[in-house]
Amino acid sequence: MLFLFIIVLANQLTNLNSLEAPKGMKVSFLEPLGFYVEWELVPRTIEDRISGYKVKLWKINEEISRNFKLLFGEQVPGLEKKDVSQEQFENHYTPKNEPTVFDVTNGYLKAIKIKDIKEETLYEVRVAAVRGSEIGPMSDPLRVKVIFRNTTTVMLAKRSLNYCELSTLNGLGDRSVNKDDATLYHTRL
Ligand SMILES: *[C@@H]1O[C@H](CO)[C@@H](O)[C@H](O)[C@H]1NC(C)=O
């Protein structure tokens, strides 16, 4: 009886101490071409410190199909470009390509800058808390893609498990970035 009780107690302690997946992850565009990834710190206690975070960035395979479609009242055939992700998007799915892993070796940091990303490339980002040699569960995934960029304007498409959005950033030329995060329309990524 006592033995059982100890097992139950031990189980509860393990549950109490198990690492949580980071919540509230956000990805914004960085100039020059890059992402700024932020998340909420995973709760911890003094004895039970988070030693850092692991941020994973996957390139997602997309199939690009270009179809001729009659646009403008069937007068002019227009070329429609359509990018369709070939990989499912869900919490329990891990993308096929090897991810690039960024180690944040400080449990109090809750953001990193990722450089050298590519335009017109679909990425998936997830983050996990690290405690010593233990790696916690991954956050919900977020997919991002820079779909348009010139010297003054950037358009960033994002998709989480709950929403799709297209953000337009203007005024990049003078470095005083005016961020307009309004949802303009839904984009399929
Ligand atoms: C960049 O693209 C935007 C949106 O298409 C356009 O309004 C702007 O004039 C462009 N800027 C330059 C310098 O080409």
d(CA 17, CA 50) in angstroms, rounded, equals: 11
Q: Is residue 46 part of a domain?
A: yes
Q: What is the mean pLDDT of residues 33-57?
A: 89
Hey, which of 146, 147, 153 would you mutate to test ligand 1's pocket, going by the most ligand atoms within 8 Å of its Cβ?
153
| CB half-sphere exposure, 56, CA atoms < 13 A | 22
CATH number of residue 49's parent domain: 2.60.40.10
DSSP annotation string for 48-70 = S---EEEEEEEEPPEEEEEEEEE
pLDDT at residue number 82: 72
Taking CA atoms only, the protein residue closest to ligand 1 atom 2 is 153
Q: Is the pLDDT of residue 9 over 60?
A: no
Is 38 in contact with 22 (CB distance < 8 Å)?
no
pLDDT at residue number 154: 87
pLDDT at residue number 178: 40
Angle of CA points 159, 161, 165, to nearest 5° = 25
Domain region containing 83:
21-143
Going from the Cα of 173 to the center of ligand 1, the distance in angstroms, rounded, reads 11
Is 183 in contact with 168 (CB distance < 8 Å)?
no
pLDDT at residue number 72: 53
Q: Is residue 26 part of a domain?
A: yes
The predicted-structure confidence for 129-186, as pLDDT tens digits, reads as follows 999 999 999 999 999 999 988 888 888 999 999 888 888 887 665 443 444 433 222 2
170 CB near ligand 1 (under 6 Å): no
Q: Is residue 152 part of a domain?
A: no
65 CB near ligand 1 (under 6 Å): no
Q: For tokens 């990834």, what's the residue?
A: 37
The predicted-structure confidence for 161-173, as pLDDT tens digits, reads as follows 988 888 888 766 5
Going from the Cα of 17 to the center of ligand 1, the distance in angstroms, rounded, reads 51
Total domains in the chain come to 1
75 CB near ligand 1 (under 6 Å): no
| Residue bearing the bigger pLDDT, 94 or 169 | 94
Taking CA atoms only, the protein residue closest to ligand 1 atom 7 is 153
- Give residue 18's pLDDT band: very low, low, confident or very high (50, 70, 90): confident
150 CB near ligand 1 (under 6 Å): yes
Q: Is residue 116 part of a domain?
A: yes
pLDDT at residue number 83: 75
Q: Is the pLDDT of residue 188 over 50?
A: no
pTM: 0.76
